[in-house]
């Protein structure tokens, strides 16, 4: 039996520190070992307490959370979960934190929240269990002529690509999508993310990648050279209309605790596209997407899973692999190229 995850809570607000501590200490497998009100206190507490995980406020006096996170990742890499306001500004800062190397982000509670901080305790436990080498992987490359279009002769076939991801997915998706050329296959993505984050993330991906990346809208036609990210919030992303495939945003209860759910997306792709699809499951907690990927494989789709060594959390890909849903596992650095190999027109026989 593993010892409880030891956590340091860093926030300039005593009230917020108390709320986070109460939520975490309510879980018997989590133990808050200390609190800090700014970066200086946090630095000393990390040295003295040697926590397994740090929760870190983004907006703090003297040195903000992003600056402190950058120092942690350079000098003492460890799992850090950012705590952010659910605003556009907070979303931009959170995405930057995830690219710097934060394990995950949670939103600060809003009035009427039934579960303040959501699944923070589960994320803390996953972070403490993570075998991730925080200093091992370089950050994603900025787009250049050398890495935006690695397959100069690529011609898309008729396949659609569906990708699911969760914890660690921001970095993973950037790494995969930066390999896509401007004429990439139509690609639909469900990434577990708070509602206010997905628009900012789609905009950031659009700046970093050669294809057009946009938040999915109901009825948007699936087109070559476009990538559609499921919006967070109240609806799931599906694809529909066999004659003119498009995005559908559907109101349904959460599936596997998530809305949007990867399983809902993969189920629709299996039904509509069958063998003319590629399913990809990337790093993430839990099992969302595993059964949907299995349906895709049974329908004749090609399926790919991220391997354990390169996952921030080998949860969703592990369950999918154990179910037999994953045809091949690859390291993150190879997945973009593998998708292009499968979807290229010369590989499909019909073109």
Among residues 192, 200, 263, 334, the one annotated as catalytic is 192
Q: Are 101 and 130 in contact (CB under 8 A)?
A: no
Our measurement of the distance from residue 172's CA atom to the centroid of its chain's CA atoms, rounded to an integer in Å, reads: 7
Backbone angles phi and psi of 49, in degrees to 5: -100, -20
Torsion on CA atoms 293, 149, 204, 302, rounded to nearest 10:
0
CA distance 323 to 293: 9
SS3 content of the chain, % helix, strand, coil (to 5): 40, 20, 40
In 3D space, the residue among 205, 203, 153 whose CA is nearest the CA of residue 176 turns out to be 205
Q: Is 288 a catalytic residue?
A: yes
Among residues 166, 200, 261, 334, the one annotated as catalytic is 166
Q: Is 192 a catalytic residue?
A: yes
Q: Are 262 and 292 in contact (CB under 8 A)?
A: yes
Backbone angles phi and psi of 301, in degrees to 5: -70, 155
Among residues 200, 267, 288, 334, the one annotated as catalytic is 288
- Positions marked catalytic: 166, 192, 288
């Amino acid at each position: 039996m593993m010892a409880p995850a030891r956590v340091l809570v860093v926030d300039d607000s005593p009230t917020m520190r108390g709320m986070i501590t109460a939520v975490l200490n309510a879980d018997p497998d989590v133990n808050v070992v200390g609190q800090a009100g700014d970066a200086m206190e946090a630095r000393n507490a990390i040295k003295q307490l040697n926590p397994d995980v740090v929760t870190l406020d983004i907006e703090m006096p003297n040195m903000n959370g992003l600056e402190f996170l950058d120092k942690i990742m350079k000098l003492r890499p460890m799992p850090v979960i950012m705590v952010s306001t659910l605003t556009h500004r907070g979303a931009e800062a959170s995405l930057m934190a995830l690219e710097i190397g934060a394990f995950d982000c949670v939103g600060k509670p809003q009035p009427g929240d039934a579960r303040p901080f959501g699944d923070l305790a589960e994320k803390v436990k996953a972070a403490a269990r993570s075998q991730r080498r925080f200093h091992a992987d370089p950050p994603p490359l900025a787009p250049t002529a050398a890495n935006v279009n690695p397959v100069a002769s690529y011609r898309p076939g008729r396949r659609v690509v569906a990708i699911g991801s969760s914890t660690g997915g921001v970095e993973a998706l950037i790494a995969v999508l930066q390999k896509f050329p401007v004429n990439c296959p139509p690609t639909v993505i469900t990434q577990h993310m708070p509602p206010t984050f997905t628009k900012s993330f789609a905009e950031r991906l659009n700046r970093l990648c050669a294809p057009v990346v946009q938040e999915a809208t109901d009825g948007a036609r699936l087109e070559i050279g476009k990538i559609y990210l499921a919006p967070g919030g109240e609806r799931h992303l599906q694809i529909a209309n066999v004659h003119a495939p498009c995005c559908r945003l559907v109101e349904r209860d959460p599936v596997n605790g998530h809305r949007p759910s990867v399983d809902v997306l993969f189920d629709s792709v299996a039904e509509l596209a069958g063998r003319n699809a590629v399913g990809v499951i990337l790093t993430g907690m839990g099992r969302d997407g595993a059964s949907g990927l299995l349906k895709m494989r049974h329908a004749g789709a090609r399926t790919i899973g991220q391997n354990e060594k390169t996952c921030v959390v080998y949860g969703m890909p592990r369950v999918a692999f154990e179910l037999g849903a994953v045809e091949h596992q690859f390291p993150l650095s190879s997945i973009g190229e593998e998708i292009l190999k499968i979807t290229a027109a010369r590989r499909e026989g019909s073109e």
